[in-house]
Chain A
Amino acid sequence: MTDQRSIERILDEWFADGPSVAPDRVLDVAANRIGRQRQRPAWRLLSWRDFPVITTSKLVAGLAAILVIAVIGIAVVLRPGGSNVGGQGPTASPSPVATPTPAPTPSPSSTVLKSGVTGPGTFTGRFAASEIPWTVTIPKGWAAYDTDIVMGPSRPGDKGVAILTERAVNVPKDSCAPDGTVPATSAEEFLTALEARKDWDISNRRAATIGAYAATRIDIVLPENTPTCGGGKDYMIVVHNDGQGFYSQGPSMHVSYWVANVNGEPLFVERFSFPETPASDLAESDVVVNSIKITP
């Protein structure tokens, strides 16, 4: 039965037998589970380099090309018709003065925060993909993902910065076993749960504002060797009541939270970055956070 000649035929025959119709309950159960499962934003499934924003190198190359063209153009325009040697040349007629191209103003459709829009500009999205509007101003090089996330310039490796909005989340007691975590009902409840995580490096609370609301800012640094949970499970930072949420994006990730009670509900602005994120990106992100307006 096991000689080389027959093994392939045996397996063909054997696999051909057996059930070939999925029981209806499989789809029913899957559909039910899907109804309780949020889709991950695509950017969380991409590496930074895949994110479709203009890279710094491309920007520099583009600006350099524009500069070269401008210099050549000015030289051509200002070049006299002939030699000036031996006397005054013809009276120079006023040369065209280069006027700066006005910065593009966002068209009405581009003011909507959605995947693909890029800064500079002020955009209105939906806070944490909810019905709550929020407005954010992002500089050149930044881009939006979905209606609730903005990301800084693309950087190779773990060097980026992004700002997310969250709602109905809390900090799990165990990042590898987040099931059972109940969303915080107040900023204080969230902050208390966060400060209970003794395995994280957590700053003191600081008074801040977010979207014109009084807020508390708190910063955390995840361990250098963020534990992997095994079995393909993510190391969760904050989760919704279904155990899904925001998870570690890389070692020593820095996360800052601005937490505000808005109409009796805690809302969260979340910024994450890495030790190698350029200071200039972080400075821009501070400005971006300060620009946020929440208008429930």
Chain B
Amino acid sequence: MDRELLAAAQHGDEAAFVDLIRARSNRLFAIAQRILRDIDRAEDALQDALVIAWRDLRGLRDPDRFDAWLTRLLVNVCIAQATRERRRTANLRVLPVDGPAAPDEFLSIADRDLLERGFRRLSPDQRAILVLHHFIGYEPSEIAETLGIPAGTARSRLFHAHRAMRAALDAEERTVLVGGRSA
């Protein structure tokens, strides 16, 4: 079914393309939101990625690669948007957390706030790698395929992303402690 829709979309059938992406929009939106940590920006990124996908769809030669190709497009759009945003807000305090953050037994609200701040300290590439691994559940080889990088590079980047996240959380904890003492 998807193959038929894809073939039709590649021949300019807009309705087929919309049907094709409708089934994938929730997953893609969730990825974008987790990389960008902002619902509005995630919507913009997803829209941009879908328009680019439509524009370049005829260049996709292997239908079986459609999902990986689409995910890659979206991640690239998110990285570009996060890079722009990072430059713009480099000296600004981070925004409050977006989206529901239902408390559970494992992570407190304070923990979540700390994670949010720490995550925003990461480079856009590192954010994307962590989301693909921890949210989508991709192994480094799958991350490599999605991002078009060697598997060894994906493993290395994942390792460094984890390390950067730990460092960012440590830095945020110190900031909170210092802030608390001086208040």
A interface residues (Cβ-Cβ under 8 A, vs B): 1-4, 7-23, 25-27, 29-31, 33-35, 37-42, 44-46, 231-232, 244
Contact = CB atoms under 8 A, between A and B. Distances in A.
A2 B166 contact: yes
A38 to B, nearest CB: 7
B165 A1 contact: no
Contacts of A18: 30, 33-34, 99-101
A46 B101 contact: no
B50 A30 contact: yes
Contacts of B59: 40, 42, 44-46
Contacts of B166: 2-4, 7
The interface residues of chain B, by DSSP majority, are classed as helix
Contacts of A9: 106
B173 A26 contact: no
Contact of A26 (B46, B106, B111, B114): B46
A249 to B, nearest CB: 14
Ranked nearest first, the 4 interchain pairs of A and B with the lowest CB-CB distance are: A45-B59, A22-B29, A42-B58, A15-B135
A244 B54 CA distance: 13
A13 B106 contact: yes
A30 B134 contact: no
Contacts of A41: 58
Nearest to A23: B43
Nearest to A18: B99
A97 B17 CA distance: 58
A236 to B, nearest CB: 14
A12 B104 CA distance: 13
Categorize the interface residue count of chain B: 35 or more
Contacts of A29: 43, 47
B115 interface: yes
Given A8-B134, A26-B43, A37-B55, A20 B26 contact: yes
B151 interface: no
A189 B130 CA distance: 53
A40 B56 contact: yes
Given A4-B166, A12-B134, A26-B46, A19 B30 contact: yes
Contacts of A22: 25-26, 28-30, 43, 46
Nearest to B58: A42
A8 B159 CA distance: 11
B68 interface: no
A267 B50 CA distance: 31
Given A15-B131, A19-B39, A1 B29 contact: no
26 contacts: A7-B165, A7-B166, A8-B134, A15-B134, A17-B99, A17-B102, A19-B30, A19-B100, A21-B26, A21-B29, A22-B26, A22-B29, A22-B30, A23-B43, A25-B43, A27-B25, A30-B21, A34-B18, A34-B51, A34-B54, A39-B12, A39-B56, A40-B55, A44-B59, A232-B80, A244-B55
Contacts of A1: 111, 114, 169, 173
B65 interface: no
Q: Could you say which of A13, A38, A231 has the most chain B C-beta atoms within 10 Å of its C-beta?
A: A13
Contact of B30 (A8, A11, A20, A37): A20
Contacts of B80: 231-232
Contacts of A231: 80
A21 B25 CA distance: 8
Given A17-B101, A23-B43, A30-B47, A10 B107 contact: yes
